[in-house]
Structure 1
Amino acid sequence: MQERCKIGVVIGNANSPHAINIMKGIDQASKECDVQLMYFMNVSSPYTAQLYPPDTSIGWDYQKSAIYDYARYVKADVLIMTYGMMSIFMKSDYGKQYLEYFRNVPCVLINEQTDRPNWTSIIVDNYNGMYELVEHLVRDHGYHNFAFLAGPPGNTDACQRKRAFLDVMKKYDLPMDESHIETGDFSECVQTQVNALLDRIPNLQAIVCANDVMALTAYQECEKRGLHIGHDIAVTGFDDWERIRHVPVPITTIRQDSERSGYMAVYSALELARSGHGKNIVIPAKVCVRESCGCTCKQFSGFDQIENMGQKFVYEKQKNTVYRQKTWMVPMISRNMLIALQDREKFLKNALTPMSFFGVKTALLYVFRNPVEYNIEKGWEFPNTIYLVARQDGECVEVFDEYKNVASLEECGFSEEGSVRYQRKPSVFCLQSGSTQYGVLSVEITPEEVDMVYLISIQMANALMAYHTEKKRLSVQRERELLLEELRSKNEILNFVSERDELTQIKNRRGFMEQAMNMNRIYKNRKAIILFADMDGLKQINDNYGHAAGDIAICACADILKKAAGVHGIAGRLGGDEFALMMIGDETRAIELVETVRKEIAMYNAQGKNKFVIDMSVGCQIVLCTDELSIPMVLEKADKIMYEEKKKKGKAR
C-alpha cells in the first residue's frame, strides 16, 4: 500500500479572507487526492501592534513567525507556503533566510515567484489585473486625480500592483508622486493612511487600494466624511472578498481566485514530489466592475435575488450570534484551567473539554518538559522531544501520565504509532506567552475556526504560564520548608548544645534558669522546691586520684540529682561542683527529696566501684510560683542553707 503524501502547509495571516479561501482550496484538493496535511498558521491582529507597539530592541517578528519554525522539524514530502503573507511580519532579512532552511525540500510558493528548479510558484497576474482596472478608471471615467494605498514593502503582490498603477499613471501622463501614495499592511488598520490622503490631496477623485480589506476601510472613512462612494469619490480594491460585494455601494475590484490557488497548490505539490521539477504558474485576474468606481451596475435581477439576499442576511445574523457565543466562551477556558492549577489532570481536562463546542474534531496537546525561552541572538532552540499530555476526540477527553507519551517534534501531528491518534489534517498552534513557548496545540478544524482556535491557544498558553509559575512556587515553597526543617533541626542541636552541660549531659546554668522560669510560668500559684547542692571533697578526689576521677564523681552526683528530679523536675549543673534542682512540691515533698538524694549517695558509695566516695551538701527552699519570683535570689538563699549544712559537717567549702 502506497503511503500518503505528507504535505506541510505554512500559512501567514491565516485569519485574513485571502488565506481562508486558500485553505478552502487546499482542503478540497486534499480530499480528492487523499493526502496528509499539516498546517502551521500565523494569526495576526494589526490592532495589537497599534495598541501595543513592539519592543524595537527585540522586534515583534519572532513572536509572529514562531510557528513557522516547526515546519523545519516535520519531515514533509513537500511544503506549501503562502510566503507573501508570511513575510509581512518578518524582518526584511529573516524572510529570505527562512526560505534557505528548505532549499533541499520541494516547495510550492503561493503569492511569490521563485527561480529554484525544485520549487513551484503560484502567483496571480497582479500586474495585468491592476493595470486593466486603473486604465478603466482613467479611460472610461476620465479620472485624473488619484491616490494609491499600497501593500507592504517587499511583498511581491504589493510590488506588482503598485508598479501597474504607476505605469498607468505614466502612460496617461497623470500627476503622481509620493504625496499621493500611502503604505498599509493589507489589514483593515489603515484609517490613518486613508485620512492622510484625503487631507493631503484636494479634489481627490479615486483611491486605488492594493487589496479589498484596505479598500473597505477606505470606503468607510470616505463615508464618515459624507462622501458618496461612486459619485463624489471612487474606491477600488483587489481580491474580490465576499464582504465588499454586499456593502450599500458594491466595490469594484480584481478577482483573484484564492481557492483555485490553494487547490492548484496541492496538485502541484504532488507533481513536484513525484518529478522534483518545479514550474511557475500564473493565475489570470479579472476586473469586476461595480458601482464604487462610478459605473451603473444592475444589482438585482428580480425577486429571486432579493430573496437570496434576505436568506443570506438571516444566515449571517445566525452566524454572528454563534460567533458571539463562542467568543464569550473563550475566556472560560483559561478561567477553568486556572481554577485547577494544583490538580494536573483536571487542569489539562479543562483545557480540552470545550474544544468540541468550538468545532474542533480532535485536539492533541503537547508540552515541553521545560518551557522554551527565546534567545535574541540564536532565536528559538527547541529540545528534540515533546510530550503528548492530553487528547480530545469529539466529547471524549483523555489525560496521559506526565512525560509518558514522548514524541519527537517531527512526529508531532504526523504520527500513527502508539497512543497518538492519527490526525488527517492537523493545524498546529504555538502555546506561547511573550518570549516563552510551552508546547503546541494540534487540532483538526475548518478554515473558518482558525481565528477562534488561535484565541483559545493564547488562553491555554497564559494558563500554562500560570501553571508553571505555580509549580515553581510550590517547588520553592517545598525547598523552603525543607530548609526550615533543616534549620529547626540544627537549632534544636544548637539549643541542646547551648543548654546542656557537656560533661554531665544535664542542663547547664543557662538551660536550668530558662527551664526554671518556664516552670514558674506554667505552675503559677503552686508551691515548688528549689534545691541547691555542692559536692563535698572534689578537690581531694582530684588531688589524690586525678581529674578524670573528679569528672566521674561530678557525673555521679549529676545522675543522682537527675534521677531525683524525675521526668517533671529539672536538674542542672551551675558550674564546677555546684548543682541545682527544681520540682513542684511542698515541705513534705522537700524532706522526701533530700532523703532520696542521701539514699542514692549511700547506695553509690556502697557499690565500691571507685576508690573514692562522693557526698553533697544540700539546701532547700519552698517557693510559690508567681510573676514576682526570682530564681537567682531563691538559689542564693538555698546556697546559704547548704553552706550551713556544710559547716555542720565540718568541711571546708
Structure 2
Amino acid sequence: MKKSNKRLNIGFFTCHLDNDYAYEVCKGVDYAAKELDVNLIVFPGMYMNASYNDPKNARFDYQYNSIFYYASKHTLDALIVSIGSIGSFLSENDMIAFLKNFNIPILTIEIEVPGYPYLYTEGRTGMRQAIEHLITEHHKTKIGFVSGRRENADAKERLDTYCQVLMDHNIPVEEDRIVYGNFSEFTEDIVNNLLDANPDLEAIVFANDSMAIGGYNAIKARGLEIGKDILVTGYDDAPAALVLDPPLTTVHNHIIDMGYHAVYEVLNLLDHGSTSTSILSSSLIVRSSCGCGNYKLNKAKELTSVFAANDLQKAKNYVLNYLFDDYKDNFYYEELIERFSEPLELILKPVADGSMAFDAAAISGSLLALIATDFVDLYFSNDKLTHAIRELNQLLCSLVDDNNRCKIMRLFNQLYSDMLAKSSSTLYNTIHDHKKAVWSSMYITRDTLTYSDDEESCFRLIMDKLQDAHFISSYMYIYEDPVMLMSDGSWKIPKNLYLQACNNNGKTVYLSGDDRLISSDKLFFNQYTSYDRRRTLVITPLFTNNIQYGLFVGEIGIEHFQNIYPNSLQLATSLNFISLMKQQLLTQSKLASSASELSEKNKLLNKLSITDGLTGINNRRGFLDSVQHLVNSSYNEGKPAMLLFADMDNLKQVNDRFGHKNGDYAIKSIAQILQQSFDTDDVIGRIGGDEFVAFCFLDDPHTPDHLCSKIKALSEHLNETNGKPYYVDISLGVSTFICNPTLNIEDVLHQADESLYEHKKNKRKDVLKPV
C-alpha cells in the first residue's frame, strides 16, 4: 500500500461543494480524516449528467467530472464515493460501470451498489416515527405528503413509508393528498394545490426541510397557524429547521455522521477486507411545528427531585440529556457534552443550592468561548446551541417561583445579549473575510491582465492571492496533452502535466522547462509538496466552456471551502487569457521576423500541399483537414451537415479508348460541375483518381436532393454539348450527420462511400454515346 510519508491517502468523490448536503457530508469526512491523521483528497465533481436540471447554465458542468479519473491506485489508497449525489440520475448498471473505472478499494455512501461495501442512513425509521407521532400523539388522520421527484430513490422511500404507516393505522392513502416537488424550497404552488384540494387537511409531512420552507410561506399566507391549525414535519434536520417560525419538527438523518463513519469504515476495508457498519438509523426530533410546543417541559418536574437530592453532577447529566438527547448518536456528542458542561455547571450550581447568585460574567465568558470554537460553527451550529440555551431557560423558569424566575430571566437576557453581540461580531468578520476573498479572487484576473507579458510575475502574484483566500498550499497544473471525453462518458487523462507554479508553506515556486513535468500519478504528492503535516486537498479542473487548460490542487480548511469555486473560475480565466496572449505574441513575432517573400512562399507551399494539381480544388489532405476542423469546432456543435461522395463511372474505359488526356478532361469536368453545384463557402476535394467529396452545412433537409438533381442536370448538359464520343457520368453517395467535437470525418466518409456504391448499381454499362 502506497502512503504519503506513512499517511494514508483517502479520496472522496462528492458533488458541487456549494450544495449544503455535500458540504455537511464533507465536514464529517474531514473531521474523521483529522482524527485518524490521514490525508484527504476531495474530488468535487457534478451530477453525472450535469445538464439534467439546468441545461442552459450547466451546459459545460460535465467538465467537473474529469477530475474523478485522477483517482487510481497510484494516487490513493482508498476511495469514498458519494454515489447517491453524483450518480443520483444513473441506473444501477451505470453506477457499477462508473465504479469499475477505479482499481482501488471503494466504499459507497447513500446508496447500496451491488459488489461494493456501502454505508447509508436508512430513512424509514425516522420518517415512520414522524408520521406515527402525528397519528398517535396528536390523533391526526388527514395527513398530506409533499414528496420529492417521482424517480428519486430517497423520495420514493419516504413516500412508501408514508403510505405504509397510514395503512398500518387503517388510514386510507388518498392520491389527492400527495404532491411532488423537487427537494427545493420552491414549493408554494404545490402546497397551495394540496391545500385547495384538501381544505380539511390536519397535517403535512414534507420529504425534506427545504421544501418545508416554501410550505411555511404557503400555509401562513392563508392565515393558518403552524403547530395549531395545521401540523408540519420535515426531514433532514437542516440548519433552516431551527430558524423557521415555529421551529420545525424533523428527522435527523445523520448526514455529517455518515461522512465521519465512512472514513472509519474505508480504513476497516483496507485493514480487514470488510466493513463493520453499513447502515445508520434516522430518528425523530420533536419541536414546535408538530403541535407539541415546549413538549419537553412536561418532564421538567423530574429535575426538581434531582435538585432535592443535592446531587449537582446528576442534575447536570439530567439537563445535558434533556437538551442534547436528540444528538446522542452523533460522533461529536461526547465533545459537545464536554464543551457545554462548564457553562452549564456555572448556571445550575446557584439554582441547585438555592442562592440564585449567578456569576453572569463567568457564565457569559464560558459560553462565548464555546461559541467562538470551530466545533460549534462547523459541526453543532450556532442555531442548535441557541435553541438549547432557549430550552434551558424555559426549563429552569418552570422550576422556580416568580421571584427566582425573574433572576433566571435576567441572567438569560444577559446571555442572549452577549451571544447576539458575539454573533454580530462574528458575522461582520465573516462578511469582511468573504469580501477580502472575493477581491483576492478578482485580483487574479486583474494581475493576469496587468502582467500578461511577464508570465513569472503573473503566476507569482496569483499564488499570493490564493494565500489571501486561505489556501494553505496551492498547485497550478497545465496540460501537456488535452484531456479527452470518451464516447462512454469516461475521461482519458494525460499521462503528464506541467506544474506551472506552486505555493507551499508560504513559499512560491515558479517552474519552467522540463522541471515542470509531473506524472499524473504524482499529482497530489511530489518533490514540490512536503510531508510535514496531514492535509485536506481539493482538486478542481480549470476550464472555460469546452476547453480545459489544467488543474488546480489546493490545501484549504473546510471552513473556507466556499472559496474554491470562485478562485478556480478566476484561475481558468487567467489561463485562457495567458493562452490567447501567447498565441498573439507568437503570431506577432512570426509576422515581424518573416520577410514578404518568405511569407508568399509559405503560402504557396501550403496551398500546394492541400491542392489537387489537376483540378485546382482541395486534395485529400486539404479536404479532410478543413472539414475535420469545421465539424469539431465548438462553434458548429449541433449543426446538421452532409458529405457528398462522387466518382466517375467508366474512367478506365475513357483512358483505354481515348487516352489519358481525355481522362483528365473528364476529371476536370466533374470538378467544375461540383464547383457549380456547391456554394463558395462549401468544401470540395478530389481524394483519389476519380473520387471526389463535397461538404456543406444543411439549412434545409431537402438540400441533398436538390444538389444531386443539380449535379445530374449539369452532367447531362455537359454530355449533350461537349461533342465528346463518350459519356462523363457521375455516381453519387450522400451521408448526413450532426457536427460535434468528437466526430471523425473519416467515419462519415465511409458511410457516403457505401451510399455511392448503391448508386453505382444503376450506372451506364458502355461509355460510348450512340452514333
Q: TM-score range by the shorter chain?
A: 0.5 to 0.7
The alpha-carbon distance between structure 1 residues 114 and 43, as it changes in their structure 2 partners (threshold 3 A), is closer
Matches within 5 A, 1:609-648: none
Tell me by how many angstroms 1:283 deviates. 1.2
- Whole-angstrom distance in 1 between the partners of 2:232 and 2:269: 40
Tell me by how many angstroms 1:189 deviates. 5.4
1:638 aligns with: none
Structure 2 unaligned spans of 5+ = 298-389, 394-408, 603-771
* Alignment partner of 1:237 out of 216, 226, 234: 234
* Alignment partner of 2:470 out of 351, 355, 359: 359
Q: Contact 2:443 / 2:465 at 8 angstroms: preserved in 1?
A: no
3-state SS, counterpart of residue 367 of structure 1: strand
Equivalenced residue count is: 481
1:120 aligns with: 117
- Whole-angstrom distance in 2 between the partners of 1:220 and 1:351: 45
Q: Contact 1:64 / 1:89 at 8 angstroms: preserved in 2?
A: no
1:37 aligns with: 40
Tell me by how many angstroms 1:387 deviates. 1.6
Kindly indicate whether residue 164 of structure 2 is the aligned counterpart of residue 167 of structure 1.
yes
The alpha-carbon distance between structure 1 residues 130 and 305, as it changes in their structure 2 partners (threshold 3 A), is farther
- Whole-angstrom distance in 1 between the partners of 2:238 and 2:536: 26
- Whole-angstrom distance in 2 between the partners of 1:261 and 1:347: 42
Return the letter of the residue paired with 1:351.
I
3-state SS, counterpart of residue 392 of structure 2: coil
The alpha-carbon distance between structure 1 residues 372 and 107, as it changes in their structure 2 partners (threshold 3 A), is closer
Return the letter of the residue paired with 1:346.
S
2:503 aligns with: 392
1:21 aligns with: 24
Return the letter of the residue paired with 2:249.
T
3-state SS, counterpart of residue 139 of structure 1: helix
- Whole-angstrom distance in 1 between the partners of 2:494 and 2:545: 19
The alpha-carbon distance between structure 1 residues 171 and 325, as it changes in their structure 2 partners (threshold 3 A), is farther
Tell me by how many angstroms 1:130 deviates. 0.9
- Whole-angstrom distance in 2 between the partners of 1:258 and 1:438: 35
* Alignment partner of 1:331 out of 427, 433, 442: 442
Return the letter of the residue paired with 1:300.
E
Return the letter of the residue paired with 1:113.
E
Kindly indicate whether residue 278 of structure 2 is the aligned counterpart of residue 281 of structure 1.
yes
Matches within 5 A, 1:445-484: 445-481=556-592
- Whole-angstrom distance in 2 between the partners of 1:370 and 1:340: 26
Return the letter of the residue paired with 2:120.
I
- Whole-angstrom distance in 1 between the partners of 2:144 and 2:514: 58
The alpha-carbon distance between structure 1 residues 175 and 432, as it changes in their structure 2 partners (threshold 3 A), is same
Tell me by how many angstroms 1:93 deviates. 6.4
1:135 aligns with: 132
The alpha-carbon distance between structure 1 residues 47 and 487, as it changes in their structure 2 partners (threshold 3 A), is closer
* Alignment partner of 1:310 out of 397, 420, 425: 420
- Whole-angstrom distance in 1 between the partners of 2:195 and 2:577: 47
Tell me by how many angstroms 1:199 deviates. 5.9
3-state SS, counterpart of residue 80 of structure 1: strand
1:78 aligns with: 78
The alpha-carbon distance between structure 1 residues 460 and 403, as it changes in their structure 2 partners (threshold 3 A), is farther
Deviates more, 1:426-435 or 1:84-93: 84-93
Q: Contact 2:163 / 2:173 at 8 angstroms: preserved in 1?
A: no
The alpha-carbon distance between structure 1 residues 64 and 429, as it changes in their structure 2 partners (threshold 3 A), is closer
* Alignment partner of 1:177 out of 161, 175, 196: 175
1:560 aligns with: none
Return the letter of the residue paired with 1:460.
L
Post-superposition CA distance 1:57-115 (Å, at most 9, x none): xx76624533323324753221111211222366886434212223x532222212244
The alpha-carbon distance between structure 1 residues 383 and 150, as it changes in their structure 2 partners (threshold 3 A), is same
- Whole-angstrom distance in 2 between the partners of 1:129 and 1:254: 5
Q: Contact 1:389 / 1:402 at 8 angstroms: preserved in 2?
A: no
2:65 aligns with: 65
* Alignment partner of 2:15 out of 12, 15, 39: 12
- Whole-angstrom distance in 1 between the partners of 2:597 and 2:226: 79
The alpha-carbon distance between structure 1 residues 300 and 461, as it changes in their structure 2 partners (threshold 3 A), is same
Post-superposition CA distance 1:382-436 (Å, at most 9, x none): 21111211112354432221552222222211x2x42334472211112122222
- Whole-angstrom distance in 2 between the partners of 1:201 and 1:327: 48
- Whole-angstrom distance in 2 between the partners of 1:340 and 1:191: 51
Kindly indicate whether residue 86 of structure 2 is the aligned counterpart of residue 105 of structure 1.
no
Q: Contact 1:4 / 1:36 at 8 angstroms: preserved in 2?
A: yes
Tell me by how many angstroms 1:488 deviates. 6.9
Q: Contact 2:176 / 2:197 at 8 angstroms: preserved in 1?
A: no
1:266 aligns with: 263
Q: Contact 1:388 / 1:407 at 8 angstroms: preserved in 2?
A: yes
The alpha-carbon distance between structure 1 residues 31 and 334, as it changes in their structure 2 partners (threshold 3 A), is same
Q: Contact 1:372 / 1:436 at 8 angstroms: preserved in 2?
A: no
- Whole-angstrom distance in 2 between the partners of 1:115 and 1:348: 46
1:346 aligns with: 457
Q: Contact 1:370 / 1:438 at 8 angstroms: preserved in 2?
A: no
Return the letter of the residue paired with 1:170.
M
3-state SS, counterpart of residue 346 of structure 1: helix
- Whole-angstrom distance in 2 between the partners of 1:363 and 1:180: 50
The alpha-carbon distance between structure 1 residues 138 and 319, as it changes in their structure 2 partners (threshold 3 A), is farther
Structure 1 unaligned spans of 5+ = 492-653
- Whole-angstrom distance in 1 between the partners of 2:511 and 2:583: 21
- Whole-angstrom distance in 1 between the partners of 2:581 and 2:90: 34
Alignment TM-score, normalising by the size of structure 1: 0.65
2:357 aligns with: none
1:433 aligns with: 544
Tell me by how many angstroms 1:132 deviates. 1.2
Deviates more, 1:164-173 or 1:373-382: 373-382
Matches within 5 A, 1:577-592: none
Q: Contact 1:121 / 1:279 at 8 angstroms: preserved in 2?
A: no
Post-superposition CA distance 1:544-568 (Å, at most 9, x none): xxxxxxxxxxxxxxxxxxxxxxxxx
- Whole-angstrom distance in 1 between the partners of 2:118 and 2:25: 14
The alpha-carbon distance between structure 1 residues 258 and 475, as it changes in their structure 2 partners (threshold 3 A), is same
Tell me by how many angstroms 1:274 deviates. 1.4
Tell me by how many angstroms 1:272 deviates. 0.6
- Whole-angstrom distance in 1 between the partners of 2:177 and 2:204: 13
Kindly indicate whether residue 523 of structure 2 is the aligned counterpart of residue 412 of structure 1.
yes
Q: Contact 1:187 / 1:213 at 8 angstroms: preserved in 2?
A: yes
Q: Contact 2:268 / 2:276 at 8 angstroms: preserved in 1?
A: no
Return the letter of the residue paired with 2:178.
H
RMSD (Å) for aligned C-alpha atoms: 3.5
3-state SS, counterpart of residue 301 of structure 1: helix
The alpha-carbon distance between structure 1 residues 465 and 143, as it changes in their structure 2 partners (threshold 3 A), is farther
The alpha-carbon distance between structure 1 residues 175 and 158, as it changes in their structure 2 partners (threshold 3 A), is closer
The alpha-carbon distance between structure 1 residues 261 and 289, as it changes in their structure 2 partners (threshold 3 A), is same
Post-superposition CA distance 1:356-393 (Å, at most 9, x none): 22222111111112543545666532211112111123
1:619 aligns with: none
Q: Contact 1:123 / 1:282 at 8 angstroms: preserved in 2?
A: yes
Aligned residues with identical type, % of pairs: 27
- Whole-angstrom distance in 1 between the partners of 2:280 and 2:270: 22
Q: Contact 1:61 / 1:89 at 8 angstroms: preserved in 2?
A: no
- Whole-angstrom distance in 2 between the partners of 1:312 and 1:428: 35
- Whole-angstrom distance in 2 between the partners of 1:191 and 1:70: 43
The alpha-carbon distance between structure 1 residues 101 and 490, as it changes in their structure 2 partners (threshold 3 A), is closer
Tell me by how many angstroms 1:253 deviates. 0.8
Q: Contact 1:88 / 1:152 at 8 angstroms: preserved in 2?
A: no
1:496 aligns with: none
Alignment TM-score, normalising by the size of structure 2: 0.56
Tell me by how many angstroms 1:134 deviates. 1.7
Tell me by how many angstroms 1:152 deviates. 5.1
3-state SS, counterpart of residue 293 of structure 1: coil
Tell me by how many angstroms 1:441 deviates. 1.2
Return the letter of the residue paired with 2:27.
K
The alpha-carbon distance between structure 1 residues 382 and 180, as it changes in their structure 2 partners (threshold 3 A), is same
